[in-house]
Structure 1
Amino acid sequence: MVNLGPITKAWDTFTPGERRNIAFYILGIMCYKFGLEAFNGSISALMTNKYDYDAWSTGTAKQTFTKQQLAVGLNYAFQCVGSILIAPLIQRYATKNVLSVAILVFGIFTAILLIVDAATGGSFPPEEYQPPNTHPSDDEAFWYYGRYNSDGIIPVYCVTGVAYGMVELIRRVIPRDIVGGNVQKLRRMDSIVHVFYEIAGTAGSFCTALALIPNFGANRAFLITPVCFSLAAGFWFLVSKLGFKAKHGDKLAKQPSYIKLLISGFYYFGQSVCTGGKIIFTSRKFVWLMPGYAIALYGHRYLENGLAPVIARRYMGQSSYQQIMVGGSNFGELLGALFVFLFTNLIHTPIPWLRLDGLLLLIVWYLPFFYPARNQISEAWKVAATFIPISFGWAAGDVSLAAYIQASLARLESTSSEVSPLGAVMAFLYVTYVVIYAVVSPLVGSYIDSYQGDIHEVVLNIGGVHFTIIMAIVLAATFIPKGSLAINPEMLFNEKLDVDLTDDEKAMTAPHQEFAAEAEKVEDTNRKGSEKSSL
Structure 2
Amino acid sequence: PVAAQPAAEPLPKRLERLSEGAAADLTVLPSAGHAEARGGAATGFDRLIGARSVPSVSSPVSAPLPAAKTLFRGGLRPAASNAASPEAAPVPAAPSKSSVRSYIAGTAALKIGIEALGLAVPLIALTVFGQAKWAAVMAMGWGLSQIIGSSIGGGILDRTSPTKVLSRTMLLQAGTVGILISLFIAQSLTGIAFAQPIAVFALHVVTGILAGVADTARQVIPPAVVGPDGQDLKVFNSKVHVAYEIAGVTGAILTGLAIKAFGLVPALLIHPPMLLLAAWLFTRLKLAPAVTNHVPATGSFMEKVKGGAGRAWADLKAGAAAVKGSRVVFWAAVALVIPLLLHRLLESLLIPIAAKTLLADPSVAAWIIAASNFGELLGAFWLMRANRDESKPSKLRSPFWIRLMSLGILGLWTFSVAPSLWFILPAVAFGSLSWAASDLSLRSKIQESLPAELRGRTFGFLTAAAFALVLLVSATLGFAFDAFSAGPTFWVLNAVLSAVVLGLLFAASRLAKTYPKPEPPSEPAK
Both proteins in one fold, TM over 0.5: yes
Q: Which amino acid aligns with 2:141?
A: L
Q: How does 1:109-124 map to 2 (within 5 A)?
A: 109-120=176-187
Q: Which amino acid aligns with 1:159?
A: V
d(CA) in 1 for partners of 2:365 and 2:255?
10
User: Closer, same or farther in 2 for the Cα pair 1:217/1:101, shift >3 Å?
Assistant: same
**What residue number does 1:395 align with?**
436
d(CA) in 1 for partners of 2:97 and 2:312?
32
**What residue number does 1:331 align with?**
374
**What residue number does 1:142 align with?**
none
d(CA) in 1 for partners of 2:290 and 2:339?
38
**What residue number does 2:282 align with?**
236
1:205–1:323 Cα contact (<8 Å) kept: no
**What residue number does 2:97 align with?**
19
SS of the residue corresponding to residue 450 of structure 2 reads helix
**What residue number does 1:80 align with?**
147
Q: Deviations over 1:164-189 (max 9, x none)?
A: 01211110000111223221222222
1:183 matches 2:261: no
**What residue number does 1:444 align with?**
477
Give the drift of 1:31: 0.6
Give the drift of 1:301: 0.9
**What residue number does 2:216 align with?**
169
Give the drift of 1:290: 4.2
1:296 matches 2:343: no
2:157–2:456 Cα contact (<8 Å) kept: no
Q: How does 1:15-94 map to 2 (within 5 A)?
A: 15=93, 17-47=95-125, 53-54=130-131, 64=132, 68-86=135-153, 94=161
1:100 matches 2:167: yes
Give the drift of 1:302: 1.2
Q: Deviations over 1:217-250 (max 9, x none)?
A: 44543321112111111211222x2235999xxx
User: Closer, same or farther in 2 for the Cα pair 1:113/1:459, shift >3 Å?
Assistant: farther
**What residue number does 2:207 align with?**
160
d(CA) in 2 for partners of 1:106 and 1:383?
37
Q: Which amino acid aligns with 2:110?
A: Y
d(CA) in 2 for partners of 1:8 and 1:425?
27
SS of the residue corresponding to residue 478 of structure 1 reads helix
**What residue number does 1:458 align with?**
486
Give the drift of 1:262: 6.0
d(CA) in 2 for partners of 1:390 and 1:215?
35
Give the drift of 1:25: 0.8
Give the drift of 1:263: 4.7
User: Closer, same or farther in 2 for the Cα pair 1:442/1:11, shift >3 Å?
Assistant: farther
2:160–2:288 Cα contact (<8 Å) kept: no
d(CA) in 2 for partners of 1:246 and 1:279?
16
Q: Indicate the percent of aligned positions where both proteins have the same amino acid.
A: 25
Range 84-93 or range 428-437, more displaced? 84-93
Q: How does 1:248-263 map to 2 (within 5 A)?
A: 255-257=296-298, 263=306
Identify which of structures 1 and 2 has the higher relative contact order when contacts are C-alpha pairs closer than 8 Å and 6+ apart: 1
SS of the residue corresponding to residue 506 of structure 2 reads coil
Q: Deviations over 1:270-323 (max 9, x none)?
A: 2343344345457654443343112331121111222345457775567xx867
Normalised by the length of structure 2, the TM-score is: 0.67
d(CA) in 1 for partners of 2:404 and 2:181?
42
1:357–1:393 Cα contact (<8 Å) kept: yes
User: Closer, same or farther in 2 for the Cα pair 1:359/1:495, shift >3 Å?
Assistant: same
Q: Which amino acid aligns with 1:226?
A: P
Q: What number of residue pairs does the alignment pair up?
A: 423
Structure 2: any 5+ residue segments left out of the alignment?
1-69, 78-91, 519-526
d(CA) in 1 for partners of 2:327 and 2:76?
36
d(CA) in 1 for partners of 2:219 and 2:436?
14
User: Closer, same or farther in 2 for the Cα pair 1:17/1:187, shift >3 Å?
Assistant: closer
**What residue number does 1:221 align with?**
267
Match of 2:403 among 355, 358, 378: 355
Who wins on radius of gyration, i.e. which is larger?
2
Q: Deviations over 1:301-358 (max 9, x none)?
A: 111222345457775567xx86765454333222211211111143122122222223
